[in-house]
Structure 1
Amino acid sequence: MTGKSKGNQDMPAMSALKILENSASLGITAAKADNLGEWYQQVLTKGEMISYYDVSGCYILKPGSWSIWKKIEAFLTKRFEAMGVEDCNFPLFISQDNLQREKDHIEGFAAEVAWVTQGGSSKLDKPVAIRPTSETAMYGFFANEIRSHRDLPLCLNQWVNVVRWEFKDPMPFLRSREFHWQEGHTAHISEGEAASQVLQVLDHYADMYEHLLAVPVVKGKKTVNEQFPGAHYTTTIEGFIPATGRGIQAATSHHLGQHFSEMFNIKVEDPSVNEAGQKNLPIHVWQTSWGCTTRSIGVMILTHGDNKGLVLPPRAAKVQVVIVPVGIRAKTTDEDKQKLYERIDDLAKSLQEVEVRVQVDLREGYSPGWKFSDWEVKGVPLRLEVGPRDLVDSVVTTARRDTGVKGRIAFSEFQQEVPALLEAIQKNLFDTANENYRAHRKIITHWDDFVPALNDKNLCLSPHCLRGLCEDEIKKLSARRLEVDKITEDAKAPSMGAKSLCIPFDQPDGLVKGETRCVNPSCGELAQEWVMFGRSY
């Protein structure tokens, strides 16, 4: 039988009591709108995305989530390779001297660096860091590898795990002490070539979120306050979690300028010729770094999941279609049952021929209704039900996970209609999320409207002066201050203030430079850009 569900189909039928016990624990018991934390935990465990581990902040990624990560890897690798990026792998450990070589950079990670201080029974003379990121690990190699401008561009990427010893409350995928990511590092002859690379990678990240995970994002540039430590500037894609009204950084791409190349002495002769016809002096290379993490899986789950469990986009799902036999009664003969199973096997093979990931659920001792709930919790995009009557009519019954709508497909149209239906589900998930995100990006020009908009679970697009001190003040002003806030509206605000998420590339109309004031009432400066502010993860 093709694509059989794991589990022993030959086992004796389970007792009614055992089935009842399993059914009671199968579904999601917390509502997403009422208790997001409990809902999220149940969805991840009952949906078989993760298992918990005995080291706080570290999680076991089960096949359901790991397969999504591998699809993300395949999606991005294809595009990175087309850019001339090559995969490599650097050691997990970074020497103390190397990590602390770049002061501004390490200050951004200092509180989160995990150190190895003992090996076996011997204390180390110098502690060794477990990589929080690999700039300082890789750039000594860059200095040795790049000898001439002919060695440029040098474009490397690695798919590895990273440790950042978070002291905040851990949240699987979104905030964990160990996570998986890809990190790209490149060196170029000119500032413009590096800048082009930064934006090209950012486009690939946005495409991955939108076309693979069906998650809409906003592309933009980080303010100086929020950019990567040691970067010339940082570009970003920002997501949105409707259940909390909070923004979330989805991926970043950094223009590092010549900051690290000067620190690590990565330089080449300038191939250009000056006015006197002489070669110019050696120049330091221009660099980029960029990364996307398993956080992407958490963003996808929070965006699409509902009170029944996971809702997976078909392009990302490990199993796109599950076929469940129905209509088998006590009076059904073994011959009729075998005939049904053989037809289901043929249907599964026909879907595999058109590259649909299909699984057949032949588990004995479980009712069709129990199986339906099981696959709903796991978020399988499309369920097909096939019974003896369907064989007579030469049709299958379809049930969409995104809408719950049921329909029928004729056997004769099976190979065409099922993939088309999966694409319709993919599109609907993105369109619904995109419409929601757009509805919750509010243009706010007056401070009196700023905090109420945040409290209504919105992000604020506001005119801003781009000064760091003003940005800090907005964060304080938009936070709940129990000893001060007496107004009912402000008292609803969570303790978290709003920070700048990005300066969107797609700027709204209406801001007049030289005339429009910054949204901060105590600032008094003129606005330079629309900035997207929000409470965030």
Structure 2
Amino acid sequence: MAKELKDLTKRSVDYSRWYNELVVKADLAEQADVRGCMVIKPYGYAIWERIQQNLDARFKATGVQNAYFPMLIPKSYLSKEADHVEGFAKECAVVTHYRLKANPEGEGVVVDPAAKLEEELIIRPTSETTIWNTFRGWIHSWRDLPILCNQWCNVMRWEMRTRLFLRTSEFLWQEGHTAHATREQAEARAKQMLEVYHDFAKDILAIPMVRGVKSETERFAGALDTYTIEAMMQDGKALQSGTSHFLGQNFGKAFDVKFVNKENKEEYAWASSWGVSTRLMGALIMSHSDDNGLVLPPHVAPIQVVIVPIFKGDEVDKFDEVLGGLAQRLEAKGIRVKYDNADNKRPGFKFADYELKGVPVRLVMGGRDLENGTVEVMRRDTLEKETWAFEGIEEKVSALLEEIQENIYQKALKHREACTYTCTNYEEFKVRVKEGGFFLCDWDGTAETEAQIKADTQATIRCVPYGVSQDNLGVDMVSGKPAVARVIIARSY
């Protein structure tokens, strides 16, 4: 059974299949009966809760408050901001009727044709429209600003090709929406939230992110600027992991949200929006995991330490006294612990299961260990084992968890750095990009060049990255025209 638990396709054989198998085998999620949707299982949802709780605290530390807005949006709202509706129109699910009735021709139910809505309702793909329609009643004076709202909810974007966590028709996320009195304040908020996302990804998920600004083609529909964090997966593909948008006055004008400023003049409110989703779960899996299963950074792991006794039937009380006490002491230090003394599964099965689920530290004590006052310690990130003295082990476990967290981050960072290249030759680029990686290239700033790259290679401009020099730009490798920016180009999920 233990072998079956770990019987994953290897990453080197088929990375996509490895990912799909791991999500299911590690008990994170499974396909739902509705095409394109997923069931997030308790272990997977426990990870999402860790993400949610940590981000929520970070948002609130910046002054953001949680609220909730309706899932159904009148169709007319989406018609008010032209770029926005054009960006989402092909992904929207539409509610046309409000009632069913018994099937007059047989069993079951049918849509009642008499219950057709006067105006169709859209299941939210994102909530700018309904929120800004609401803000119109909240905002009258500069004294009403800023408004800093966030909601945790589900959204629907109809997808033709889906993959658990990475791209599903329905997904969970948070969406922040803010209204401001000045352009400077709205832009500053959009950039601030990008930093919140970046720091969270580094500190909690142990994922190094590239921050940057999206090109006009890739920016959010209805935004003046979109800021992004981009992660590199182990196969060298990029994953857009979070975005923050400066929306200007577009939604203020579309929904007539005006206020009287300090000079007693009327003007439209300025806006930002920002969000991350359960796609972060996909980033977490593909950034760190290996051929044995998940590798979870301790800061996000639902179980940080699992304790497994190996005992004979009449010895259970002795182990419970010693190891149960250890579990309580670790919990008192804020460590999430599971003491697994269940006798319906063999130790080998338990080892394989917790390894598959990415538990960062495993402590094992057998009869000889009990006599000698020792315990076997295995760390999931390297699979290395050591024997430690049992006395005073709590401090060492705490330190080990932090060491594992840092090691996982550094491994991912070194991988990204090793797979980031500078490229000036388009023919060379077309060959190398198929193997994965981030490519720093000078770009002429035109949508035509972007489209040509995508058509030839399926790669896209991910962003104009922060921290990369924009001096001494050369020529675009595609068009030969003078470059206006140095960008990261990659294939992506």
Structure-2-length-normalised TM-score: 0.94
How do 1:279-298 and structure 2 match up within 5 A?
A: 279=264, 281-298=265-282
Per-residue Cα deviation, 1:506-531 (whole angstroms, up to 9, x for no partner): 1147x414xx11121xx232111110
Question: Is the CA contact (8 Å cut-off) linking 2:375 and 2:389 kept in structure 1?
Answer: yes
Aligned equivalent of 2:177: 185
Aligned equivalent of 2:8: 29
Which of 474, 477, 480 matches 1:519?
477
Q: Give 1:374 shift.
A: 1.1
Say yes or no: does 1:52 pair with 2:57.
no
The range that moved more, 254-263 or 62-71, is 62-71
Say yes or no: does 1:535 pair with 2:491.
yes
Say yes or no: does 1:145 pair with 2:124.
no
* Letter paired with 1:83: T
Question: Is the CA contact (8 Å cut-off) linking 1:48 and 1:62 kept in structure 2?
Answer: yes
Unaligned runs of 5+ in 2: 100-111
3-state SS, counterpart of residue 290 of structure 1: strand
* Letter paired with 1:467: T
Q: Give 1:410 shift.
A: 2.3
Aligned equivalent of 1:12: none
Give the distance between the partners of 1:163 and 1:476, measured in 2 at CA: 28
Aligned equivalent of 2:104: none
Which of 134, 147, 157 matches 1:154?
147
Q: Give 1:409 shift.
A: 2.7
* Letter paired with 2:177: H
Q: Give 1:448 shift.
A: 3.0
Give the distance between the partners of 2:485 and 2:71, measured in 1 at CA: 40
* Letter paired with 2:261: D
Q: Give 1:130 shift.
A: 0.3
Question: Is the CA contact (8 Å cut-off) linking 1:442 and 1:453 kept in structure 2?
Answer: no
Which of 507, 519, 536 matches 2:468?
507
Q: Give 1:36 shift.
A: 2.2
Question: Is the CA contact (8 Å cut-off) linking 1:183 and 1:289 kept in structure 2?
Answer: yes
Aligned equivalent of 2:210: 218
3-state SS, counterpart of residue 225 of structure 1: coil
Which of 207, 226, 231 matches 2:199?
207
In 2 relative to 1, CA 24–386 (structure 1 residues): closer, same or farther, beyond 3 Å? closer
The range that moved more, 27-36 or 47-56, is 27-36
3-state SS, counterpart of residue 435 of structure 1: helix
Aligned equivalent of 2:225: 233
Say yes or no: does 1:377 pair with 2:364.
no
* Letter paired with 1:512: N
Say yes or no: does 1:415 pair with 2:394.
yes
Give the distance between the partners of 1:232 and 1:70, measured in 2 at CA: 32
Aligned equivalent of 2:250: 259
Which of 274, 289, 305 matches 2:289?
305
Q: Give 1:313 shift.
A: 0.9
Aligned equivalent of 2:318: 339
In 2 relative to 1, CA 154–164 (structure 1 residues): closer, same or farther, beyond 3 Å? same
Which of 457, 469, 476 matches 2:436?
457
Aligned equivalent of 2:105: none
Aligned length: 479
Give the distance between the partners of 2:21 and 2:268, measured in 1 at CA: 51
3-state SS, counterpart of residue 284 of structure 2: helix
Give the distance between the partners of 2:455 and 2:250, measured in 1 at CA: 31
Q: Give 1:333 shift.
A: 6.7
Q: Give 1:286 shift.
A: 1.1
Q: Give 1:23 shift.
A: 3.8
RMSD: 1.4
3-state SS, counterpart of residue 453 of structure 2: helix
Say yes or no: does 1:322 pair with 2:280.
no
Question: Is the CA contact (8 Å cut-off) linking 2:123 and 2:155 kept in structure 1?
Answer: yes
Q: Give 1:170 shift.
A: 0.8
Per-residue Cα deviation, 1:420-447 (whole angstroms, up to 9, x for no partner): 1111111111100011011111111222
The range that moved more, 425-434 or 500-509, is 500-509
Question: Is the CA contact (8 Å cut-off) linking 2:50 and 2:302 kept in structure 1?
Answer: no
Give the distance between the partners of 1:191 and 1:217, measured in 2 at CA: 27
In 2 relative to 1, CA 449–424 (structure 1 residues): closer, same or farther, beyond 3 Å? same
Q: Give 1:367 shift.
A: 2.4
Give the distance between the partners of 1:234 and 1:79, measured in 2 at CA: 21
Q: Give 1:270 shift.
A: 2.6
Q: Give 1:195 shift.
A: 1.2
In 2 relative to 1, CA 261–364 (structure 1 residues): closer, same or farther, beyond 3 Å? same
Structure-1-length-normalised TM-score: 0.87
Aligned equivalent of 1:172: 164
Which of 430, 436, 441 matches 2:409?
430
Question: Is the CA contact (8 Å cut-off) linking 2:152 and 2:173 kept in structure 1?
Answer: yes
Q: Give 1:341 shift.
A: 2.3
Question: Is the CA contact (8 Å cut-off) linking 1:304 and 1:311 kept in structure 2?
Answer: yes
3-state SS, counterpart of residue 275 of structure 2: strand
Say yes or no: does 1:126 pair with 2:124.
no
Give the distance between the partners of 1:285 and 1:123, measured in 2 at CA: 36
Question: Is the CA contact (8 Å cut-off) linking 1:28 and 1:39 kept in structure 2?
Answer: no
Aligned equivalent of 1:67: 46
* Letter paired with 2:220: F
Aligned equivalent of 1:247: 238
How do 1:72-91 and structure 2 match up within 5 A?
A: 72-91=51-70
Aligned equivalent of 2:107: none
Give the distance between the partners of 1:141 and 1:147, measured in 2 at CA: 12
The range that moved more, 47-56 or 86-95, is 47-56
* Letter paired with 2:29: I
3-state SS, counterpart of residue 54 of structure 1: coil
Aligned equivalent of 1:11: none
Q: Give 1:51 shift.
A: 2.6
3-state SS, counterpart of residue 180 of structure 1: strand
* Letter paired with 2:341: L
Q: Give 1:24 shift.
A: 5.3
3-state SS, counterpart of residue 411 of structure 2: helix
Per-residue Cα deviation, 1:148-189 (whole angstroms, up to 9, x for no partner): 00001111100000011111x210110001000000010111
* Letter paired with 1:518: D
Question: Is the CA contact (8 Å cut-off) linking 2:202 and 2:209 kept in structure 1?
Answer: yes
Give the distance between the partners of 2:220 and 2:307, measured in 1 at CA: 47
Q: Indicate the percent of aligned positions where both proteins have the same amino acid.
A: 38
Question: Is the CA contact (8 Å cut-off) linking 1:158 and 1:184 kept in structure 2?
Answer: yes
Question: Is the CA contact (8 Å cut-off) linking 2:238 and 2:492 kept in structure 1?
Answer: yes
Aligned equivalent of 2:106: none
In 2 relative to 1, CA 337–72 (structure 1 residues): closer, same or farther, beyond 3 Å? closer
